[in-house]
Structure 1
Amino acid sequence: MLPESTNGAGGTSGGGLAVPMAWLCAEYLADEVLRTAALVAPGSLEYRAGLQALALTVHLSEGPDGPSVGWAAGDVDAWLRHTAYDRPWPPWVEERLAARRASGGDGPDLALAHTAWRLLRDTWVLAADLDSRAVGGDASPVDEDDQVWLPAWKLGLPLAHLSLHLR
């Protein structure tokens, strides 16, 4: 059996099996944040969307030295900025993925990040219309019966952001 690579870039070491360590670390951190916040049931569609959105944010926020495996205040602040409501998250994700692809880095990590983004972008869910309050500008509660179809990232990103605040 060939040894597994444990370098942060997810590459191979001496012809061994390529293990997507950077993506797995990002997904682990996202899972810890969401489970700690306990806003939705693990295994639900909402949980999966939040997990993928936060894992993508963590993974794409990483520097060239690989994943951050701690809870450094600067890391959390960056994740909060990227997941904030008024930020253009989808263009940021696509820009970062394109930059990684152009640099030829990430290997299996990049493939998993692309898959997560494709699923978040192409999966549509029926959910409460949270944007209707933003358009009207009033402070009335959300009418959960007023539902619209939206891409899964629009469901997962606010969950990820709120979970980061509650961690």
Structure 2
Amino acid sequence: MLPDGAGEPAGGELPVPMAWMSAEFLADRVMLPAGVMPYGSVEYRAGRTALAVTHFATRSPFDLKELFDDDKRDYWLLLTADPWSWRQWAANRLRRLASQQPAAGPCHPDVALATEAWRWLTRTELLPLLGPEGTDGRCPWVPAWELGVTLGHLALQCY
């Protein structure tokens, strides 16, 4: 058990990662109705995580109405159209957000969760959805971020 006040911000309140939780909720609201992957599959997780990172990195305030906003949807479609460009964009945005954290003490929980999600996307490889074999006869592995962005883009188009 931690002593009183250990690891707590000033005022004794624990920080709640509302921005990250909202980003995940919004991503679920896009992925679920699209039905591009079964809920609970690792592919679904990749798509949801890529969309959550996209929302979090844009730093737009959470509003359920933005799900139905054509401008926001078009912006997300543009960001996710090319997985390689998205990867560079997301890495730069998350790096900038992380650099804004205090040097001493714990990272804000929103940034910590987004960083952990990014780490999972960049360190995980998945089997491809189509085409069981590569050109050399072996099964190629796909980075989770690449598959996730592609699935997220597809879900946005279906939304």
Report if TM-score (shorter chain) is over 0.5: yes
Which one of 68, 73, 80 corresponds to residue 83 of structure 1?
A: 80
Q: Is the 8 A contact 1:52 1:120 kept in 2?
A: yes
Structure 2: tracts of 5 or more residues without a match: 1-8
What is residue 158 of structure 1 aligned with on the other side?
150
Q: Is the 8 A contact 1:83 1:160 kept in 2?
A: yes
Which one of 26, 30, 53 corresponds to residue 56 of structure 1?
A: 53
What is residue 62 of structure 2 aligned with on the other side?
67
Percent of residue pairs bearing the same amino acid type:
40
What is residue 123 of structure 2 aligned with on the other side?
122
Q: Is the 8 A contact 1:52 1:116 kept in 2?
A: yes
Structure-2 separation of matches of 1:86 and 1:153: 8
Aligned length: 142
Amino acid across the alignment from 1:50 = G
Moved more, 54-63 or 110-119: 54-63
SS in 2 for 1:70: helix
TM-score, normalised with respect to structure 2: 0.79
Alpha-carbon deviation of 1:62?
Answer: 1.8
What is residue 21 of structure 1 aligned with on the other side?
18
Structure-2 separation of matches of 1:153 and 1:87: 9
Amino acid across the alignment from 2:17 = P
Runs of 4+ off more than 4 Å: none
SS in 2 for 1:77: helix
Q: Deviations over 1:98-131 (max 9, x none)?
A: 1112222881110011001100100111215xxx
Q: Alignment RMSD, CA only?
A: 2.3
Q: Is the 8 A contact 1:49 1:153 kept in 2?
A: yes
Q: Deviations over 1:48-87 (max 9, x none)?
A: 0001000000110124xx4344323222122111111265
Q: Is the 8 A contact 1:22 1:109 kept in 2?
A: yes
Structure 1: tracts of 5 or more residues without a match: 1-11, 129-141
Alpha-carbon deviation of 1:145?
Answer: 4.1
